[in-house]
Amino acid sequence: MVTALRPRWKLCEVLPVVGMAKSSYEYARSAQARGETEEHTAARRAVIEAFEASGGTYGYRRIYARVNADVEDGEAIGEWTVRSIMEEENLVARAAKKKRRYSSYEGEISEAPPNLLRDDRGKHHFRANKPNELWITDVTEFRIPAGKVYLSPIVDCFDGMPLSWSISTSPDAEMANSSLLGACEWLGEGDHPKIHSDRGCHYRWPEWIRICDENGLVRSMSRKGCSPDNARCEGYFGRLKIEFFHGCDWAGVTIEEFMGMLDAYLRWYRDVRIKGDLDYRSPMQYRRDLGLAA
């Protein structure tokens, strides 16, 4: 009908009258040109909207889970349909870029605890059967034209949930200690998690050790210069930078704006972003469903 009226009226005049968005009209017109059915057009729109809502971070598995989250079995969009639509629309999730890793190592400034996550055969164990059983932490650096920003999170290996984080322009003791204190607020009676880190100076200063001792945390530390010993945290940073940082133009963004955007992403990661190993639920929703969070 809109197409039939276009010779007499402008598109911007017709669409408000019929209650149709311009994007919906273009979808329908393109679908007609391709000979698509109404159902396939709706599926294409749903896939594109789910991809855009994720900020371009979801691959086909999570898009498939997202578009079928609230539909009846007979109305579900097939996995191969999702994959073909993403290929046709060039919807590609962000990929990793190799960057020089920030290091906070300043030598053996205090006695290092053993690596409690590595068994006698050299295998690492990053899994946890319940919350507050195993925490991991590290510091990562972001370089933007306006300067450098550092992130120090505490991540629970039970579900990959960032319990607490600190964002700063200085990778100092206050940043690391504040994130640890924030995570300790999640502790329940009888909780004594292992807290695993690399050999960075942040985790060897007296204040960090005091916080661990006072809260019953068991310290564990990677071997010197061995990033696989903290692979779980390295993987967390890799995913974060793929989804939030790499491929974005940060020119004109101030340090304060960047820190606010990073904090918003971390809250989205905790509360909204779905994970395949959690049955396509966010860490917070997963805990709510298990009765572990309000």
Within the chain, residue ranges assigned H as helices are: 2-5, 11-18, 22-34, 38-53, 60-67, 79-88, 173-184, 206-214, 231-240, 255-271, 283-289
**How does DSSP classify residue 57?**
-
Identify which of 123, 97, 156 has the alpha carbon closest to the alpha carbon of residue 229: 123
Task: Please tell me the distance from the alpha carbon of residue 288 to that of residue 54, in angstroms, as a whole number.
Answer: 22
pLDDT at 259: 97
Q: Tokens representing 281?
A: 């639920």
Cross-strand pairs, 164: 154
Percent of the chain with pLDDT over 90: 49
Task: Please tell me the distance from the alpha carbon of residue 268 to that of residue 14, in angstroms, as a whole number.
Answer: 38
Task: Please tell me the distance from the alpha carbon of residue 285 to that of residue 289, in angstroms, as a whole number.
Answer: 6
Identify which of 179, 158, 149 has the alpha carbon closest to the alpha carbon of residue 255: 149
Residues of the chain with pLDDT under 50: 105
CB neighbours of residue 63 within 10 Å? 26
* CA dihedral of 140, 282, 195, 237, whole degrees rounded to 10: -20
Left if phi > 0, otherwise alpha if psi is -120 to 50, otherwise beta: which for 252?
A: left
Identify which of 80, 17, 273, 251 has the alpha carbon closest to the alpha carbon of residue 162: 273
- Over residues 8-52, the pLDDT tens digits come to 778 777 778 878 777 777 766 766 665 567 777 888 888 888 888
What sign does the CA torsion over 246, 250, 255, 259 have?
A: negative
Residues 6+ apart with CB under 8 A from 239: none
The residue to which tokens 């890799």 are assigned:
238
